[in-house]
Amino acid sequence: MSDLPLLLIVDDDATFRRVLEKAMQRRGYAVLTAENVVGAMSLAQQYSPEFAVIDLKMEGASGLELVKYLHQLDNQTRIVVLTGYASIATAVEAIKLGATHYLAKPANADEVLAAFGKTEGNVELAVSDNPLSVERLEWEHIQRILHQHEGNVSATARALNMHRRTLQRKLAKYPVKI
């Protein structure tokens, strides 16, 4: 493509994808975009990006599948996972699968750039004295069980001994603040 570092942006939100693409081009990146995991895998196979920004929740396959694929393709690819549905379980899985960092939406281009640069944890990060709220603990537990059942809402509802529609309502809500 060019001598610029190659960045792959994968998000099903066309507006967000376009805004981030322009912002990253202004910061010196050659940018490829895709709206889903299948399209992103094809681009990654063809161009082997050095950087990737991946939305976690998209139509079709999860962004976690793409993280794993990109990491297997080239374990030096710097991958930042973005999501509006942040949970501890998915953050841990993203890192285990090869992501460099995990950011909750909305995130801007400067936050993405900073996340690419993170190579180690921060031992000076403040540990909160406040426990998580009951609502947040419920959200985290649901996300963990959903992940264990590979996103299958019906199987998750059965595992939680919860009606499927009740679970769907809970999943449609944004996560409770930490």
State the Cα–Cα distance between residues 99 and 94, nearest whole angstrom: 5
Mean pLDDT over 4-12 rounds to 94
> What is the structure's pLDDT at 50?
96
**Given a cut of 70, is residue 176 above it in pLDDT?**
no
Mean pLDDT computed over 146-160 = 88
Q: In the structure, what pLDDT confidence band is assigned to residue 178 with cuts at 50, 70 and 90?
A: low
Q: In angstroms, rounded to a whole number, what is the distance separating the alpha carbons of residues 166 and 50?
A: 41
Q: What is the DSSP letter of 52?
A: E
Sorting pLDDT into bands at 50, 70 and 90, what band is 60? confident
Q: Is the pLDDT of residue 148 over 90?
A: no
CB 108 within 8 A of CB 101: no
Domains of the chain, CATH where assigned: 6-117 (3.40.50.2300), 134-172 (1.10.10.60)
Q: Residue 170 burial (CB < 10 Å; 0-12/13-18/19+)?
A: middle
**Span 84-125, pLDDT tens digits:** 766 777 778 888 888 888 888 778 899 999 988 876 655 454
CA distances from 139 to 64, 85, 124, 127 (A): 19, 10, 27, 20
